[in-house]
Amino acid sequence: MAAQNATHAQVATGPQSEPDGVRDREIGTEQQHLDRVYRRLEEKIHEAEFLMDDAAKRGQVGTPGALAERDAQVFRAGVHLNRLNSEFEDFLFGRIDLLLGKDGKKGPDGAYTSVEPADDAVRGDRAEIAETLHIGRIGVLDADYSPLVIDWRAPAAAPFYRATPVAPGRVVRRRVIRSKGRRVLGVEDDLLRPELTATLGGSALPVVGDGALMAALGQARSHTMRDIVSSIQAEQDMVIRAPAASVTEVEGGPGTGKTAVALHRAAYLLYQDRRRYAGGILVVSPTPLLVAYTEGVLPSLGEEGQVAIRAVGSLVDGAEADTYDEPAVARIKGSSRMLKVLRKAVRGALEGTGPGTAPVRPSAAPAGEDGQLSLDGALAEGNAGGNGNGDGRRGGPAGPPDRLRVVAFGARIELGAEDLKRIRNTALGGTAPVNLLRPRARRLILDALWSRAGGPKRYTDPELAAEARSAFDEDITTEDDFLAFLDAWWPELTPRQVLACMADEKRLARFSRRVLNPRETRLLARSLRRLDAAGRGPLSVHDVALLDELETLLGAPARPKKPREYDPLDALTGLEELMPQRSESRRERAERLAEERRDYAHVIVDEAQDLTPMQWRMVGRRGRTATWTIVGDPAQSSWSDPDEAAAARDEALGARRRTRFRLTVNYRNPAEIAELAAKVLALAMPGMESPAAVRSTGVVPRFAVAGAALGPAVRAEAEHLLADVEGTVGVVVPMGRRAEARGWVAGLGDRVVVLGSLEAKGLEYDATIVVSPAEIADESPAGLRVLYVALTRATQRLTVLSGERDDPDADGVPDLLRD
Ligand SMILES: Nc1ncnc2c1ncn2[C@@H]1O[C@H](COP(=O)(O)OP(=O)(O)OP(=O)(O)O)[C@@H](O)[C@H]1O
C-alpha cells in the first residue's frame, strides 16, 4: 500500500503470486477474527443496555450521590451504544504482524510499545511473528483486556501507517482488510521485510494481493469523499499525528491528500484530547460544494457532530453568501485596504443612516413634571442625508435629526445641526466600537443641554448643583421623545446597514478617500447596490468577511441572554444532555456548535491559499486562542496578491510557533494528466515543483476543438466520458458560462456536474472536461492558477475543449498547453 515506500524502494507485494486457495484461506482467517470482534461488540452492547437500565433504576433513588452516579453511567452507556450501533463499512480494516519488541513492555491498549525489534528477534534470515494487531475505527478489548481491535489513532496503530521497507521497525507484514458489515471481502498485503523468512505459529507467513493503495485509488468516485483510514501514507501520518501545539502548516500540490489529511487530523485530535476539542474544532472550507463533498468523512471515522465544517462564505451567522463577485470587485473587497474604508464607514454611516424605519416625528411639548423642564420633542427634520444616488432607496427614509429642542427652566433650549455634529465628532473620537459609544454620546448631549440651559451658573453649592443636574438628566432621559431622538440620531447600526450605505457612491468616496481610486470606489459601490437600505439582499462570499469586520467595528451592546426554551425531555432523565445524537441530527448539532462558539480550540483551514486578507481576519477572530492546522498550495491560489494574503495570515496567527510539512505524492491524477497540468504550473509559478503522480493509466488527455460551438461539443464529450468511466464527470467552465453550460448537459443525469472554474477547488471526478482554457486563464489575474486547479481534478480521464480564444494547433492542443 505504501506509495512513499515505492519512492524509496519497490514494495514487495508477495514473493510470488499466491497459490490457489491462499487468498480464500486468509480471508477466512480474518473472517474468524471479525466474528470474534462482533461477538465481543454484542456483549458490550448488552453491558451498555444493562448499565442504562440500572442507571434508570438508580435515578429513582433520588439522592444527589445516586443521581450523579446515574448520570455518569448513562453517559458511558450512551457513548458505547452510539458507537457500537453504528455499522461501518470496514469497521476492521488493518492488521500488522510484528517482531518481538525491544523492551517487552505493553501499553494501555494491551499492545507492546516498542517500535524497534529486540536484538534477537531475527536469527539469520528467519524470524517468528511475536504479535499480531488488528486496526479498526474504534478500539475493542476482549474480556481479558487483550486488544481485539486497536483504534487507528492509538500509538500502537502508528506502525501500520508509518512502516516502510526502508524503516520497517517491527512490522513484517501489513495487511489491509476489506469488509462490509460483518463480512470480510478481501485482503491486500505489503511485505515490509521481504528479506526475511517469517513464520507465524510455526507456518510460513502468507502474502496476498497487489497492495491496498492502488486498489483504493482506482475506485470510481462518487459525489462524496471517502476516508483514507486504511491506506494513510507515512508522510501523511506524520501530519495527522503531529502534536497539536501552535500551528501546523501543510503544503502540497493537487491530490496529495491535504483535505483528507486535515479531516483525519481532526479525528485524531479528538481521540487524543476529547475534553479539549469536542465541539471546538472548526474546519474552514472554500466553497459550500467542498463542504458537502467532505462532510461525510468525519462521521465515517466515528466522529459525529463534534466538528463544525463551514464554507468561508457561511462563517457569519445569518449571512449565507450565494454569489461570487467579479474578479475586479473581489480583489477590492478582499484586500486589507478595506479595513481603512470600513473604519471610516462605521463612523460615517451614523450621519446618513437612520434606523431604516419611519422618521421620528416631534410630539407636542409636554409639561415637565415639576414644571421646571419639558422636552419639546426630538426633532427629525431630516437633513438630505440618504442616498446621494438620487434613487431615494438608500440611507433610510430620512437622515438623522438635525435639531433637538427641550424646554428647561421655563425656556426653550435648542441644539442645532452644528452642535449635534460637534457632539457626534467628540463622541466618535478614538477607535471604540460605534454601537458602544451611544452612552457617551448621550452624556455629551445632556452636558450640552445643561450648559445651554445655564445650569452650571445657577448653583454655587456643588452639592445642590449635582442634585439639580441629576434631576435635569433624569427628566430629559425619561421622555419618550428624547429616547426617540437618540434612536434616530445615534441608532444602533447593523453591519448590513453600514454595508448598504456604502452603495452610495458619494458617501463611499468619502470613506475611501486616499485608499481606493475612483474606479475602484465606483465598482465597489455598484456591487453593493444589490442590497436594500437595511442591507437585505444577496451577499457575495467576499461581503461576508466585510460584515464580520463591521460587526467587530460596530460592537454588540450587551443584551440579556434568551432563556432556553422548555424541552419536555428535561423532565426525563437528562439523557438528551448526555446523548445529543438522540435529540439532534449531526448537522443540527454541528450548526448549533458553530453558532454558539466564535472562539474555537482548533481551527483547520483547507485550501488556505485562497483566503483573502479580509477573510484571514475573519477566520483569525475565530481562533484567537486556538491551535491551528493550515493546509494549502500556493500554486492553486485564486487570490491575486499572495504576498498581501501571506501578511494577513501572519497577522491572524501572530507569533505562534509553526511546524511545516510538505506532502509530495499526487494520489489523484494519473501521471499522464499530471504531466499536462505541469505545463500550466510552469507558466503560473515558474520553478514550482509538481507532486509525483503515484500511478499511471496509460491514457493520455484528449484534445478537441469546439470553437464557438461549445455546447454540442461539451455534450458529446460528456456522453463519451460517461460511457468510459464508472463514476462522475465534471465539466469545468469559465465562471460566466455556468448557466449556459448547465443547459448543454441537461438530461445527462446526476453523474455529470457543471462547475465554474472557481468552484472546482478541492473536488475531483473520474473524468473532467475543461472548457476553453484561455477563457479561464483570462478571467482574473490569478487565472493561470485557476486553470491549473481545473486541470488537476480528474482521477482517470481528462478532455480539454478549445474555445474561440484558445488558438489550438493541428492536434487540437491549445496554445497554453503546448510544450
Ligand atoms: N493515502 C491515501 N489512500 C487512498 N487515497 C488517498 C490517499 N491520500 C489521498 N488519497 C485520495 O487522493 C485524492 C486527493 O486527496 P485530497 O482531495 O485530500 O487532496 P488535496 O491535496 O486536498 O488536493 P487539492 O489540493 O487538489 O484539493 C482523494 O480522492 C483522496 O481520497
ipTM of the complex: 0.99
Q: Is 716 exposed, middle or buried (0-12, 13-18, 19+ CB in 10 A)?
A: middle
Ligand 1 test: best mutation among 213, 217, 604, most atoms within 8 Å of CB? 217
Q: 817 C-alpha vs ligand 1 centroid, how far in Å?
A: 24
Q: Is 259 in the pocket of ligand 1 (CB under 6 A)?
A: yes
Average confidence (pLDDT) over 722-743: 95
pLDDT tens readout for residues 455-487: 888 888 888 889 989 998 998 888 888 888 998
Q: Is 233 in the pocket of ligand 1 (CB under 6 A)?
A: yes
Q: Is 254 annotated as a binding residue?
A: yes
In the block, cell 501521471 appears at 671
Asked whether 104 and 111 are in contact (CB, 8 A), the reply is no
Report the alpha-carbon distance of residue 190 to residue 10 in Å, rounded: 11
Q: 763 C-alpha vs ligand 1 centroid, how far in Å?
A: 10
Q: Is 318 annotated as a binding residue?
A: no
643 Cβ contact list (under 8 Å, min separation 6): none
Residue 591 neighbours by CB distance under 10 Å: 17
Q: Is 348 annotated as a binding residue?
A: no
Q: 692 C-alpha vs ligand 1 centroid, how far in Å?
A: 13
Q: Is 718 in the pocket of ligand 1 (CB under 6 A)?
A: no
Q: Global pTM?
A: 0.79
State how beta strands 307-311 and 627-632 pair: unpaired
Q: Is 260 in the pocket of ligand 1 (CB under 6 A)?
A: yes
Residue 257 neighbours by CB distance under 10 Å: 26
Q: Is 764 in the pocket of ligand 1 (CB under 6 A)?
A: yes
Q: Is the pLDDT of residue 240 over 50?
A: yes
Atom of ligand 1 nearest to the CA of 256: 21
* pLDDT confidence tier of residue 557, bands split at 50, 70 and 90: low
Phi, psi dihedral angles at 123 (to 5 degrees): -120, 110
Q: Is 667 in the pocket of ligand 1 (CB under 6 A)?
A: yes
* pLDDT for res 91: 80
Q: Is 691 in the pocket of ligand 1 (CB under 6 A)?
A: no
Q: Is the pLDDT of residue 434 over 60?
A: yes
Q: 174 C-alpha vs ligand 1 centroid, how far in Å?
A: 21
* pLDDT confidence tier of residue 179, bands split at 50, 70 and 90: confident
Atom of ligand 1 nearest to the CA of 792: 26
Q: Is 256 in the pocket of ligand 1 (CB under 6 A)?
A: yes
Average confidence (pLDDT) over 624-640: 91
Buried b (16+ CB within 10 A) or exposed e, 263-296: bbbbbbbbbeeeeebebbbbbbbbbbbbbbbbbb
Q: 260 C-alpha vs ligand 1 centroid, how far in Å?
A: 6
Asked whether 694 and 665 are in contact (CB, 8 A), the reply is yes
Q: Is the pLDDT of residue 499 over 80?
A: yes
Choose the most confident range, by mean pLDDT, from 181-190, 572-581, 630-639: 630-639
Report the alpha-carbon distance of residue 153 to residue 173 in Å, rounded: 19
Q: Is 217 in the pocket of ligand 1 (CB under 6 A)?
A: yes
Q: 562 C-alpha vs ligand 1 centroid, how far in Å?
A: 44
Q: Is 362 in the pocket of ligand 1 (CB under 6 A)?
A: no
Ligand 1 test: best mutation among 11, 256, 673, most atoms within 8 Å of CB? 256
Choose the most confident range, by mean pLDDT, from 47-61, 185-199, 697-711: 697-711
Average confidence (pLDDT) over 229-237: 87
602 Cβ contact list (under 8 Å, min separation 6): 244, 266, 269, 277, 280, 281, 282, 623, 626, 627, 628, 629
Average confidence (pLDDT) over 625-636: 93
Q: Is 113 helix (H, G, I), strand (E, B) or coil?
A: coil
Share of the chain above pLDDT 70, in %: 81
Q: Is 317 helix (H, G, I), strand (E, B) or coil?
A: coil
Q: Is 259 annotated as a binding residue?
A: yes
Closest residue by Cα to atom 29, ligand 1, is 668
Of 610, 60, 690, nearest to 330 by C-alpha is 610
* pLDDT for res 105: 79
Q: Is 257 annotated as a binding residue?
A: yes
State how beta strands 403-408 and 411-415 pair: antiparallel
DSSP conformational letter for 592: H
Report the alpha-carbon distance of residue 503 to residue 507 in Å, rounded: 8
Q: Is 398 helix (H, G, I), strand (E, B) or coil?
A: coil
Ligand 1 test: best mutation among 5, 251, 633, 668, most atoms within 8 Å of CB? 668
Of 767, 808, 771, nearest to 787 by C-alpha is 771
CA 290 from centroid of its chain's CA atoms = 9
- pLDDT greater at residue 432 or residue 251: 251
pLDDT tens readout for residues 384-424: 333 333 333 444 435 678 889 888 877 888 899 899 999 99
Q: Is 213 in the pocket of ligand 1 (CB under 6 A)?
A: yes
Q: 345 C-alpha vs ligand 1 centroid, how far in Å?
A: 43
Q: Is 254 in the pocket of ligand 1 (CB under 6 A)?
A: yes
Can you read off the three cell numbers belonging to residue 570? 428535561
Q: Is the pLDDT of residue 657 over 70?
A: yes
Residue 764 neighbours by CB distance under 10 Å: 21
Distances (CA, A) of 316 to 166, 311, 596: 48, 10, 12
**Sign for the pseudo-dihedral over CA of 433, 437, 438, 441:** negative
Closest residue by Cα to atom 27, ligand 1, is 762
* pLDDT for res 357: 30
Average confidence (pLDDT) over 302-319: 85
Q: Is 766 in the pocket of ligand 1 (CB under 6 A)?
A: no
Q: 138 C-alpha vs ligand 1 centroid, how far in Å?
A: 23
Q: Is 687 annotated as a binding residue?
A: no
Q: Is 785 in the pocket of ligand 1 (CB under 6 A)?
A: no
Average confidence (pLDDT) over 173-202: 87
Q: Give all strands of the β-sheet with 658-663 in edge-to-edge order.
A: 307-311, 281-285, 602-605, 627-632, 247-252, 658-663
Average confidence (pLDDT) over 522-541: 93
- pLDDT greater at residue 613 or residue 391: 613
Output Rg (C-alpha) for the chain, integer angstroms: 33
* pLDDT for res 701: 97
Q: Is 653 in the pocket of ligand 1 (CB under 6 A)?
A: no
Report the alpha-carbon distance of residue 797 to residue 648 in Å, rounded: 38
**Sign for the pseudo-dihedral over CA of 105, 107, 112, 118:** negative
Q: Is 170 in the pocket of ligand 1 (CB under 6 A)?
A: no
CA dihedral 438, 614, 296, 628 (to 10 degrees): -90
Ligand 1 test: best mutation among 259, 664, 681, 690, most atoms within 8 Å of CB? 259
Q: Indicate the average pLDDT of the chain.
A: 82
717 Cβ contact list (under 8 Å, min separation 6): 702, 704, 769, 799, 801
CA 622 from centroid of its chain's CA atoms = 11
Q: 168 C-alpha vs ligand 1 centroid, how far in Å?
A: 24
Q: 710 C-alpha vs ligand 1 centroid, how far in Å?
A: 31
Q: 255 C-alpha vs ligand 1 centroid, how far in Å?
A: 5
Q: Is 107 annotated as a binding residue?
A: no
